[in-house]
Structure 1
Amino acid sequence: MRYELILWFMWVLKQVPGHIGCALRRKLLPCRIGTGTMIWDNVQIDFPGRLRLGERCSINRGSVLNCGGGVEIKDDVLIGPNVIIYSQNHAYEDSTQLISVQGYVRNKVTIEEDVWIAANTMILPGVTVARGCVVGAASVVTKSTEPNGVYVGSPARRIGRRHAQVRLREEHEGNLL
């Protein structure tokens, strides 16, 4: 009965829209949530006690975070709508037993600073998305990434890198009329 009440509470909490809903979730979810982080409506969080969220993050509508194996999302991360992050999977190796009775394999997911994960992407257990990465829409990230990489596809593969852009004004400071 207690678990049923928790499920109802979580369902009601995730339905509240807008900034009021974000404030309620920041206050009432049993996880560490950094300053300025927004968890928008209809975000499903399983095992919220195993979730750590940094500062100035945004988790968009319809996303699912299964934190059974632990999920750490560091500062300044943008997560698009309908993103799925799973830190556990069914154990299935023993063919003499039903999959449903073999339990789970848990592996922490880490998303480092300054990452953008676009809509409908899936991040699988054990993955670290490195600092500065961009993951394109509808990608499936099965392996850890390299810093500042741009990844797309299923399975996701690196197609480019982000580079430091120096503004002309900064580059020629003092030389302006």
Structure 2
Amino acid sequence: MRKLARYVVDTALAVFANSFIGSHMIPVRLRPRLYNLLGHRIHPSTTINTGVFLGARTGLTTGPNCYINHRCFFDLGGEVILEENVGLSYEVMVVTYDHAIAGSDSRVGFADPTRHTTVIEKGTWIGARSIIMPGVRIGAGVVIAAGSVVTSDCEPNTLYAGVPAVAKRSIS
């Protein structure tokens, strides 16, 4: 019975967070406070636009002056840390779960998922519809071009683009 009660509470809070807090009804400056009440660690100067999906009640940490644009997605199986002045454009997806490929009778590999921490260091910009894969560390001052898929760590002050994202050039 406790498991059922916990499930009901978690589901209600997820609906509250992703439907109500992330809606146009809540002022943009109030969202960080409400997400913090659920268990996240959002700096008060962070801007979180509408339609952002948070897959858990905890796990998102932001530094000062972060910007999370409309319809970004965080699965939050593992922790996501956005250092100061990080910007995420429209519909950026940050994935923290990973799992092995299942057997040949079923490729649905939900058994034994692994949770990874993803860190995006200060001053980084992530372009629209980019995907950040589990466990990646993106260095300070990086720019990720729109539509890129980041599968490995990124060196500071570098422009990355592509699928998978590769270093294109150094930036100052």
Alignment partner of 1:26 out of 25, 28, 32: 32
* CA 86–50 in structure 1, closer or farther in 2 if over 3 Å, else same: same
Amino-acid identity (%): 29
d(CA) in 2 for partners of 1:150, 1:34:
27
Q: What TM-score, normalized to structure 1?
A: 0.84
Q: Is the 8 A contact 1:14 1:43 kept in 2?
A: yes
- The runs of 5 or more residues in structure 2 that have no matched partner are 1-7
Aligned length: 161
Displaced runs of 4 or more, over 4 A: 93-98
* CA 142–53 in structure 1, closer or farther in 2 if over 3 Å, else same: same
Structure 1 residue matching 2:140: 3-state secondary structure: coil
- The runs of 5 or more residues in structure 1 that have no matched partner are 164-177
RMSD: 1.8
The aligned residue for residue 4 of structure 1 is 11
d(CA) in 2 for partners of 1:81, 1:115:
15
The aligned residue for residue 48 of structure 2 is 39
The aligned residue for residue 115 of structure 1 is 124
User: In the TM superposition, what is the alpha-carbon distance from 1:69 to its structure 2 partner?
Assistant: 1.2
The aligned residue for residue 145 of structure 1 is 154
* CA 97–138 in structure 1, closer or farther in 2 if over 3 Å, else same: closer
Task: Give 1:35's aligned amino acid.
Answer: P
The structure whose Rg is larger is 1
Task: Give 1:44's aligned amino acid.
Answer: F
* CA 141–27 in structure 1, closer or farther in 2 if over 3 Å, else same: same
Is 119-128 or 29-38 further displaced after alignment? 29-38
* CA 149–21 in structure 1, closer or farther in 2 if over 3 Å, else same: same
